[in-house]
Chains A and B, each alone.
Chain A
Amino acid sequence: MHSRAARPVLAVVTAGAAVALGLTGCAAAPDPGTVTVLNSATDTAEHTKNQKFFDRCARPLGLRVEQLSVPADQVASKALRMASSRSLPDILELDGSELPQFALTGGLRPLADLGVATSGFSRSAVSLGSYQGTRYGVARSANSLALYYNPDLLAKAGVEPPRTWAELRTAARKLTGDGTYGLAFSASPDADGVYQFLPFFWSSGGDEARLGDGGGAKALGLWKQLVADRSVSKAVVNWNQQDVNDQFVAGRAAMMINGPWQVPVLDAQKKTRWAVASIPVPEAGGTAVAPIGGTVMTVPKSDTPDRERNAAKILDCLNTPRNQLDWGKATNNVPTRTAAARTYAEQNPELAPFAELVATARSRTARVGTRWPAVGDALAGAFQSVLTGRSSPEAALRRAQQQASTGK
């Protein structure tokens, strides 16, 4: 029993001890048999799915995998905080567009040093995980954008899925009316809108490293025309990808630009039928250049080589052709091994357009590296000012060029 007078002292001591414990707790070496992962799988279903694949790989190695999941937009800042307290996880799963910023810090281990397999992956997938020619991240699967359409509405209007921009304009106009717009896309001033603009920008010859050279102005012109035709709602400047999907599901859009991550939502509702086609190209015979998206798994440098080696073993296992294929099916994303992607397309014909696009898709950061956030912002400014009638496509791109170069 403690006397009354001793109590405050005791309180101070326990508080001090708690602080001390808390501090050492951060730096304490984790159990060597556990591989820690930081990712954005906050959704329970996704978290469980991830854990299943991790366990499948870790168990034969006598390891355990622990996931730490935070919302996608907080992964980078969480990882930075962990880096400053020297408590980074063994595997850090970043969005592809964030990789260069982290690679530049020198805090990531080049995957070649760890002997992580590299052959058999599509060029675009390798590019997604690379910075200045060095591979730091490996993507199990990747995604891109395609044109979703409502086959019922298209049949009713007597329209085929459009393949060129001209066909897209005509089809969108024919499909508009009666509370339904022909097409919906996201033109929000953030990552969603930029991602959706890229297939148009790149397919018409735009260059993210030289925004002002006039290439890609045609893409801005197309978006502007579609809104001016009234076959796309003026409200697209506020819509994120989720809103676009909501419009499609509600029957207020006959076609939409979106990614495979919407498939579970689309499948869950019975009323609206859907199908996927490749994104239309400027001229017949051209190839659509879509952005490649998805996350890459990286291995932060560690003081204990064993930890890095264990992480590498897990990465190799997650990326066996079979695991990639299973993972792709589980998440509706396309495997990054070329052969697995082919099998995937055969087994999921309704998502085959994605598989084709991903093989040729372009990485956002391959050309501009760590400058991508500034370039993306500048592009968003460009399409927003064109869609709201504030400037012409050419003037908007010239201003974007200025913005992107000052925001270095």
Chain B
Amino acid sequence: MTTLTRRPALLRWLFIAPALIYMAAFFGYPLVRNLLMSFQHYTPTTYFTGEAPFNGLDNWRAVLADPLFTDALWHTALFTAGSLLGQFTIGLALAVFFSRRFRLAGLVRAVLLLPWLVPMVVSAVVWRRILDQEHGVLNTFLQAVGLTDGGVPWLSSPSVALLSAVLVNIWIGIPFNMVILYGGLQEIPRELYEAAALDGARPWRAFRSLTLPMLRPVITVVLVLGFMSTVKILDLILALTAGGPADATQTLGTVTYQLSFLRLDFGQGAVVGTVLILVSAVFAVLYLRANRADFGKGK
């Protein structure tokens, strides 16, 4: 290599270096540290002595053998899938609805953004009151319209609690989905719809053959971001049910919290954390591949 070509290469690395260093320090280091911790006996003593002996697969064996972990894995899957499905379909429907102009559309849209502005824990506390079996607004309403006679045990029955948590999380997630999808809809040229209408396409056909394909990149972004924030959820569930009743709403997030901060077994907590990272990583890779396919096709 000549000095002429080497210098730009060096310069290029110099420009990339800050980003690389930042990534390594704030993302790489914690990731590696977390992985290492999952193979260590990491307890309060470690903080005093700095010693964290490696204990092989002990932490992994202990966590994987605990039926609670399997339950939490299953709950996390249900919670994430249910939340995404609800948030996305309702968010998309609202986005399509508001992409047409009508009076007060701006105001209603602003009101719909509210759940986004309220801190998660506050939402959870309010929802706890709404979902209360005896004095909650929801049951009072359902009884008034005659849909149920006894109060629905929204948060006090293990078979309903996870569903309730999903419903609350859908409510919280709708604005995010709506806003991003609404932005995507604005990007689609109006003329396409006019052309489609001239070709005799009904609204549903236009939605399926025009809106959805044009929205695809935005949809991937919404779903992947939604997935990442839902799969690790903690504060909502802690404030809503604290993982109960009878562990019915324990997720990987709450189990990590319990192991690390209540039992102070940071090694075992790191195991669950690592599992969470792996799950997220799988989806991140899928997302990158999907995007690369898009770029490849020149979209």
Residues of the B chain whose Cβ atoms lie less than 8 Å from the Cβ of A390: 158, 246
When the two chains form their complex, are residues A234 and B262 in contact, meaning their CB atoms are under 8 A apart? Answer: no
Q: Contact mask A378-391 → B, CB, 8 Å, 1/0?
A: 00110011011010
User: Which residue on chain B has the smallest CB distance to residue A406?
Assistant: B66
Q: A13 at the A/B interface (Cβ < 8 Å)?
A: no
Cα–Cα, bound, A238→B160 (Å) = 13
Interface of A, secondary structure class, is helix
Stretch from B46-54, B91-99, B276-284, B287-295 at the A interface:
B46-54
Q: A190 at the A/B interface (Cβ < 8 Å)?
A: yes
Q: Which of B50, B133, B155, B156 contacts A84 (CB 8 A)?
A: B50
Residues of the A chain whose Cβ atoms lie less than 8 Å from the Cβ of B49: 105-106
User: Which residue on chain A has the smallest CB distance to residue B50?
Assistant: A84
Give the shortest distance, in Å, between A200 (CB) and chain B (any CB): 18
Q: Contact mask A216-236 → B, CB, 8 Å, 1/0?
A: 000000000000000001111
Q: Which of A235, A252, A384 contacts B133 (CB 8 A)?
A: A235
Cα–Cα, bound, A188→B249 (Å) = 13
The answer to whether A106 and B45 touch (CB under 8 A), given A77-B261, A235-B155, A406-B66, is yes
Q: Which of B48, B65, B155, B247 contacts A107 (CB 8 A)?
A: B48
Stretch from B184-192, B200-208, B237-245 at the A interface:
B237-245
When the two chains form their complex, are residues B47 and A373 in contact, meaning their CB atoms are under 8 A apart? Answer: no
Max chain B C-beta neighbours (<10 A), residue from A76, A80, A81, A406: A80
User: Which residue on chain A has the smallest CB distance to residue B66?
Assistant: A406
Q: B44 at the A/B interface (Cβ < 8 Å)?
A: yes
Q: A237 at the A/B interface (Cβ < 8 Å)?
A: yes
When the two chains form their complex, are residues A237 and B47 in contact, meaning their CB atoms are under 8 A apart? Answer: no
Cα–Cα, bound, A380→B245 (Å) = 10
The answer to whether A102 and B134 touch (CB under 8 A), given A377-B258, A384-B245, A387-B245, is no
Residues of the A chain whose Cβ atoms lie less than 8 Å from the Cβ of B246: 189, 237, 381, 384-385, 387-388, 390
Interface residues in A341-394 (C-beta closer than 8 Å to B): 373-374, 377, 380-381, 384-385, 387-388, 390
Residues of the B chain whose Cβ atoms lie less than 8 Å from the Cβ of A189: 241-247
Interface residues in B101-134 (C-beta closer than 8 Å to A): 128, 132-134
Interface residues in B133-191 (C-beta closer than 8 Å to A): 133-135, 153, 155-158
Interface residues on B, range: 20 to 34
When the two chains form their complex, are residues B262 and A373 in contact, meaning their CB atoms are under 8 A apart? Answer: yes
Q: Which of A84, A101, A234 contacts B264 (CB 8 A)?
A: A101
When the two chains form their complex, are residues B155 and A105 in contact, meaning their CB atoms are under 8 A apart? Answer: no
Q: A19 at the A/B interface (Cβ < 8 Å)?
A: no
Q: B216 at the A/B interface (Cβ < 8 Å)?
A: no
When the two chains form their complex, are residues A235 and B134 in contact, meaning their CB atoms are under 8 A apart? Answer: yes
When the two chains form their complex, are residues A237 and B245 in contact, meaning their CB atoms are under 8 A apart? Answer: yes
When the two chains form their complex, are residues B244 and A384 in contact, meaning their CB atoms are under 8 A apart? Answer: yes
The answer to whether A80 and B263 touch (CB under 8 A), given A189-B242, A377-B258, is no
Max chain B C-beta neighbours (<10 A), residue from A77, A107, A235, A377: A235
Give the shortest distance, in Å, between A222 (CB) and chain B (any CB): 18
The answer to whether A388 and B245 touch (CB under 8 A), given A406-B65, A406-B66, is yes
In order of increasing CB-CB distance, the 6 nearest A-B pairs are A189-B244, A107-B48, A237-B245, A80-B47, A384-B246, A105-B45
Interface CB pairs A-B, < 8 A, 22: A80-B44, A83-B48, A84-B47, A84-B50, A102-B44, A104-B43, A105-B45, A105-B48, A106-B45, A106-B49, A107-B48, A188-B242, A189-B247, A233-B134, A234-B133, A235-B153, A238-B156, A374-B263, A377-B258, A388-B156, A390-B158, A407-B62
Residues of chain B at the chain A interface (Cβ within 8 Å): 43-45, 47-50, 62, 65-66, 68, 128, 132-135, 153, 155-158, 241-247, 258, 261-264
